A and B are shown apart, each in its own frame.
Chain A
């Protein structure tokens, strides 16, 4: 049996290569996602272990439960260092501060900041405690005001060297520093792509507004002292007020934070892997179905000479297994290549990964191989079972093998049930309150695809006829034949088109989602902002230095200048977005739709203004007192002073003065300005740009520019997703090629006859080509339908989150449908060529 199976594989090699490609792509994505995340973790582990090698215990502030932890470091008072140093077993202990330091290049543009953070810290004097090291020829440590040490990579990127003067932006206005040293982190010349600036301790404290305190104390133990014991002793000595951890534990925390940050990437890769594998399964099932049909005689002969139905099934399954193992192995190798590519891509966009080998865990190979093999075998199972039903008599009369088809009613019922189940899961995930809605929505979508593909054969004949109706008019008999050919085997047409359907549906969905976000943003910006100009930060981590708003307000060109901060706070049931405003000026620049007197009350008393929706949901009324948690005040009684209607930015509004007492964030998220009466906006713009110039991370925009900027960000993400979904579409094209090629072989006699009675090669190619186009368009039409539904459901479900405007990007959808038609043409190039080269005599050479 095995030998017969191997022969079968070899005999069908071209076809199986196409099938295998679908498996390879799916498995490669699975493997790459694991290899990539494992590798990043391993490399960071090496880096972090390396740079913390001399430290045994870290003392840090207990992390705030909420808020932007990159900003709110919390702090350790100066005197704690002496307490730590006094603990027996401590050999050396030194405090450090850290904050935001943005290098400004010679051209006035910020260096980095669009991805990895822009870090600044104090230079620790004890060599064993310090992460940075300066190589012998690379200068010296910073010893006083006006001196900075940068990492080697940043110096290269921003083209400055030892002795040069650089501009660095911290809390206040930009300042000039002399570069006195260039440092490495362990064996790396940078810290994972971040720009780093180290200053002498007192200078750093001034720059980061941390006079008299530290944000970290690092400790090295005396010889023979256990780190665990020392940590316990230090914790006791400092009264349990701080987060005292051994280096091992601290590093583990840091690694898990990095892991979380990269988790989205792993999820995204696995989601694409799921799409590729799912689409691939359709192609695999289709190929084996056709292979079985083609070998009806051979399989019937096996039955006639005594093979059982089970043996025939096994024969086909073994073939599938052989293909699966080979393809999955190649897939794992391709996954390694893909992981390398991803790492190169990360480096290219500025996230410098530490150097090191790829981590290929046994678990990765096992999972990837299992996915490839199981999916292939399961997909081949149905055709294999069908093979067992071929009666032995078919060896003599092939026509007899065409067993009665299952009644369409049963198919319709099964398809309807599965589709309804899928849609149900999807809607429940979207609108029900469940723990993991994304997973449920994903599974619901997959089940819906499955259900629709079961139903698709019912639609194939009418839809293919409708799509093909102009063909006979345009191309006469050639067109008529192409149209009829797609309708004659609805099952095959439908399952081939189903693969494309999935790719198209996902692209349409993503396009709708993005278009809806865009139009929501646009509406929201024009509804919400009353200001003429808006200043925001180009640095993801850090907002706008507070001195910027002060300088802007001092200009005569502007009437009102007011800033907003967006942050998070904790409530009993979890975190929430908060908006921080200057209550007296907010109404001038932003439309939050407050209840009468709400902002006046907020200006004169510490309290909170809550959105009407949130009040209603919780059954609160104005005047109630609720408990909110802030970084410096974990449990604060807050009186509800009023309500507001426009909750696009958040549900809770705080007064800026109050915010400054409970958060450690001096930065503004947005600075909004209205132009003074009689002043031309463009003139005011020039004045604002002049102020903004030294603040390298501040950009001034009017509403139109703001909209365009946000849309461009969405488009970038969109292109990335489209690029990945493109793979699913390539797999689908392979499927169309496969199906057409097989149909051509089956129709050898028919095509020969057409050639005999006068069809030219060109006409033959045209016939096959249009068949491919109809199949592709059928998939595109089904996919567009499902994509529209998915988009509509998800946008509706997210209406609460502020996604108000369901927008269908008809232009993009039209392009997609046309592109699918073109894909059909591409997919049919090879089959059309085969058909046109077919020997006419084969048509009439009968046995």
Chain B
């Protein structure tokens, strides 16, 4: 059992999570009885080889997909019992997302994209908080631009700002820097780090990039649908070292 919640309590946790895709002989056990907790106010990275189940873990934690067996909690809410509408509303109020690509709606400008979860819910953005987030990602001058007019790095920072604007309990990021050059990657990850340090945000990020993972407070390593190891306060070197040994 991986425990990291002594100080802050768990923002999200999974108990005995099993996820099976397909039927008959073609079944794939993407998650194999995994249990994990993600502490509030911490930046956690999930790493593992292709097919280790890290994306499935993220999707099921975030309520985008449901488990075959086991339970998932976001805060105090158990997701398995929720209907589609309740899940949708939970996502919009308590969860933020940053994806690798297709993160923005092309017909909306940067500001509209950032406030999208609020406006879908019919809520007004908190002006001060919106300004703080926008300033933090450095997009004050780009708010009326459409995604097509923004660089890849700017687009991902818009996505990051959107994930934070609802003050979610937890932000899930799926390879957020996967399509970015190294400078843009550094800017995005620095922002995510600051979101945790300055705004006490909780972030769970799936990545296969040791540099990205080195921004996290803690890394959970996955293989064959279960946790195999973890590391606190990682550096690029220690991660590379660990990955070498995991492969053995």
- Quick one: which of A737-794 are within 8 Å of B by CB? 749-750, 753-763
Q: Which of these binds chain A: B83-91, B197-205, B211-219?
A: B83-91
Q: Mark B102-124, 1 if CB is under 8 A from A, else 0.
A: 11111110001000110111100
Residue on A with the closest CB to B90? A758
Q: How many A-B residue pairs have CB under 8 A?
A: 80
A758 pairs with B105, CB closer than 8 A: no
B121 pairs with A753, CB closer than 8 A: no
| Chain A: interface size category | 20 to 34
| Chain B: interface size category | 20 to 34
Q: Which of these binds chain A: B40-48, B93-101, B149-157?
A: B93-101
Residue on B with the closest CB to A487? B107
Tell me how far the C-beta of A206 lies from the nearest C-beta in chain B, rounded to whole angstroms. Answer: 85
Asked whether A844 and B105 contact (CB < 8 A) given A477-B120, A755-B88, A757-B162, the answer is no
Q: Which of B85, B117, B174 contacts A757 (CB 8 A)?
A: B117
Tell me how far the C-beta of B55 lies from the nearest C-beta in chain A, rounded to whole angstroms. Answer: 8
Contacts of B117 in A (CB 8 A): 757-758
Tell me how far the C-beta of A27 lies from the nearest C-beta in chain B, rounded to whole angstroms. Answer: 39
Question: Cβ of A480 < 8 Å from any Cβ of B?
Answer: yes
Question: Cβ of B78 < 8 Å from any Cβ of A?
Answer: no
CA–CA, A116 and B65, complex, Å: 71
CA–CA, A846 and B206, complex, Å: 14
CA–CA, A758 and B104, complex, Å: 14
A758 pairs with B101, CB closer than 8 A: no
Contacts of A762 in B (CB 8 A): 85
Tell me how far the C-beta of A692 lies from the nearest C-beta in chain B, rounded to whole angstroms. Answer: 70
Contacts of A295 in B (CB 8 A): none
A844 pairs with B64, CB closer than 8 A: yes
Question: Cβ of A82 < 8 Å from any Cβ of B?
Answer: no
Question: Cβ of B142 < 8 Å from any Cβ of A?
Answer: no
Question: Cβ of B167 < 8 Å from any Cβ of A?
Answer: no
- What does DSSP make chain A's interface, helix, strand, loop or mixed? helix
Question: Cβ of A841 < 8 Å from any Cβ of B?
Answer: yes
Asked whether A758 and B88 contact (CB < 8 A) given A484-B107, A484-B108, the answer is yes
Question: Cβ of B208 < 8 Å from any Cβ of A?
Answer: no
CA–CA, A656 and B93, complex, Å: 91
Contacts of B122 in A (CB 8 A): 476
B97 pairs with A477, CB closer than 8 A: no
Asked whether A753 and B105 contact (CB < 8 A) given A476-B119, A476-B122, the answer is yes
B64 pairs with A840, CB closer than 8 A: yes
CA–CA, A424 and B102, complex, Å: 49
B85 pairs with A758, CB closer than 8 A: no
B120 pairs with A750, CB closer than 8 A: no
Tell me how far the C-beta of B112 lies from the nearest C-beta in chain A, rounded to whole angstroms. Answer: 7
Residue on A with the closest CB to B101? A846
Tell me how far the C-beta of B123 lies from the nearest C-beta in chain A, rounded to whole angstroms. Answer: 10
Residue on B with the closest CB to A472? B119
B59, B64, B106: which has the most chain A beta carbons within 10 Å?
B64
CA–CA, A750 and B162, complex, Å: 15
Contacts of B91 in A (CB 8 A): 756-758
A841 pairs with B120, CB closer than 8 A: no
Asked whether A488 and B116 contact (CB < 8 A) given A756-B97, A757-B92, A844-B99, the answer is no
Q: Which of A484, A757, A844 contacts B116 (CB 8 A)?
A: A757
CA–CA, A756 and B112, complex, Å: 16
Contacts of A757 in B (CB 8 A): 91-92, 97, 116-117, 120, 162
Q: Which of B101, B104, B108 contacts A480 (CB 8 A)?
A: B108
Contacts of A754 in B (CB 8 A): 105, 116, 120
Q: Which of B59, B64, B100, B107 contacts A846 (CB 8 A)?
A: B100
Q: Mark A481-501, 1 if CB is under 8 A from B, else 0.
A: 100110110000000000000
Tell me how far the C-beta of B82 lies from the nearest C-beta in chain A, rounded to whole angstroms. Answer: 13
Contacts of A841 in B (CB 8 A): 59, 64-65
Question: Cβ of A458 < 8 Å from any Cβ of B?
Answer: no
Q: Can you identify 5 A-B contacts, CB atoms within 8 angstroms? A: A481-B107, A481-B108, A753-B104, A755-B88, A759-B120
Contacts beyond the supplied A478-B120, A758-B88: 7 A-B pairs with Cβ under 8 Å: A476-B122, A488-B107, A750-B105, A753-B103, A758-B117, A759-B92, A844-B100
State the 10 A-B residue pairs at the shortest beta-carbon distance, nearest first. Answer: A758-B92, A484-B107, A477-B119, A749-B102, A757-B117, A760-B88, A844-B99, A758-B117, A840-B64, A759-B120
